[in-house]
Amino acid sequence: MASMTVNEFNLFQKFIYDHAGIDLAPAKQIMVSSRLTKRLNYYQLDNFGQYFELAMSSDNPQEFQMMVDILTTNETYFFREPKHFDFLQNEILKSWRGEHFRLWSAASSSGEEAYSIAMSLADNLGGRKWSILGTDLSTKVLEKARHGVYMMDRIELLDRKLMEKYCLKGVRSQEGTFRIAEKLRQHVRFKQLNLMKPLPPKMETFDVIFLRNVLIYFDNDTKKHVVERIISSLKPGGYFFISHSETLSRITDQLEMVQPSIYIKR
């Protein structure tokens, strides 16, 4: 088995920083090396430098995306940081009076965040119109999000009543899994979007944006650019959620903190 040299690690480190803004700490070398070893074996290559060249060559866009997928961290789960869902329900949805409620789960990973929000919207907005956009850089997680099938053993925070109302339990060969019901999935769409790139020209504006557990991978300059870009799509008076483990201190003056990790656009 080939071991990754520091120079080889630096290639991947620089690449993912330039492409996605992700600041890979040197301590991540072992993780990167073990994740990429499978690709090295698949192509029967001798070293990681050869793999990097192959993934970067213009005639292999699929391997390029595969490398990006491998270098991202996609950890997520249903109703992560439950206080955010309490706030969404009690402080935003209960008093919301509009025609169409739009929410963006930026860096949605495999969809657990977007579908948790969907359950809250379906429960609180009655028959009113609502939609959710989920975006991520990794096409692998987006595929999973669109499919909407999850393992039963990863749902500690998913309320049993919501589960019964909005999820379908798998039977026979699907035993141990569940699928998000079509009545929710029809309100949620997923597409690839790199937060480092300008937003699409016809990007809609949102009442609420969730940008949770991704800023931690960015340095301060990148954070500033990403946050400024994203909040250009947030309506004035709209809410912006980050993770409790992240901070926006000295990042923008367009947002005012309502509670730790929850902001309103001025």
Ligand X SMILES: C[S@@+](CC[C@H](N)C(=O)[O-])C[C@H]1O[C@@H](n2cnc3c(N)ncnc32)[C@H](O)[C@@H]1O
Residues known to be catalytic? 35, 136
Give the nearer residue to ligand X in terms of CB position, either 51 or 78. Answer: 78
Tell whether residue 212 is a contact of ligand X (CB under 6 A).
yes
Give the nearer residue to ligand X in terms of CB position, either 5 or 65. Answer: 65
Phi then psi for 179, rounded to 5 degrees? -120, 140
CB atoms within 10 A of CB 2: 17
Give the nearer residue to ligand X in terms of CB position, either 93 or 209. Answer: 209
Among residues 4, 13, 15, 22, the one that binds ligand X under rule CB under 6 A: 22
Tell whether residue 80 is a contact of ligand X (CB under 6 A).
yes
Decide: 93 and 125 in contact? Cβ < 8 Å: yes
Q: Which stretch binds ligand X (CB under 6 A): 23-31, 91-99, 156-164, 194-202?
A: 194-202
Which residues on neighbouring strands pair with residue 103, listed in sequence order? 132, 208
Give the nearer residue to ligand X in terms of CB position, either 184 or 214. Answer: 214
- Cα angle for residues 240, 82, 88 (degrees, 5° grid): 45
> Cβ neighbours of residue 54 under 8 Å, at least 6 residues apart?
43, 45, 60, 63
Among residues 29, 33, 72, 120, the one that binds ligand X under rule CB under 6 A: 72
Q: Running DSSP on this structure, what letter comes out for residue 154? A: G
Site for ligand X in 105-164 (CB under 6 A): 107, 109, 113, 136-138, 141
CA-to-CA distance for 65 and 141, rounded, in angstroms?
A: 12
Among residues 5, 37, 60, 74, the one that binds ligand X under rule CB under 6 A: 74
Per DSSP, which regions of the chain are E strands? Answer: 100-106, 129-136, 149-151, 167-169, 177-180, 188-192, 206-210, 234-241, 255-259, 262-265
Q: Which stretch binds ligand X (CB under 6 A): 32-40, 146-154, 199-207, 211-219?
A: 211-219
Give the nearer residue to ligand X in terms of CB position, either 29 or 76. Answer: 76
Q: Which tokens in the block code for residue 169?
A: 């339990």
Tell whether residue 214 is a contact of ligand X (CB under 6 A).
yes
Site for ligand X in 33-62 (CB under 6 A): none
With b for 16 or more beta-carbon neighbours within 10 A and e for fewer, the 146-176 pattern comes to bebbbeeeebeebbeebbeebbbebeeeeee
Tell whether residue 65 is a contact of ligand X (CB under 6 A).
no
Tell whether residue 255 is a contact of ligand X (CB under 6 A).
no
Contacts with ligand X by CB under 6 A lie at: 20-22, 72-76, 80, 107, 109, 113, 136-138, 141, 194-196, 212-214, 217
